[in-house]
Amino acid sequence: MVSEKTEAFGRSQRSLSSAARKLQAAAEGNARDLGKVTGGGMLWPTDYIRMAERNIAALAALATVPGEALAPVHKGVTSNAKRLSGRRGV
């Protein structure tokens, strides 16, 4: 039972880490692109599109975090409940 919990929370943490990496990559990319402006450069339309795509991907990852993080734990809990409820009748 402990190994099942550990595995479920490990999967949950991996989904959180994945979303955090996407958010960090978007922030770093935006900082890099906006750094061009502070250095006297210009942002071209392709730069804005790239920034928008990164931000949308990061927001999509953040929007799915609650479900992806809870899914492994929920699966473990429901399977445990089913398994344990079957033992009561014995």
pLDDT digits (tens, 9 = 90+) for 18-61: 999 999 999 999 999 999 999 899 999 999 999 999 999 999 99
pTM of the predicted protein model:
0.70
Q: Comparing 11 with 28, which gets the higher pLDDT?
A: 28
C-alpha neighbours within 13 Å on the C-beta side of residue 75: 13
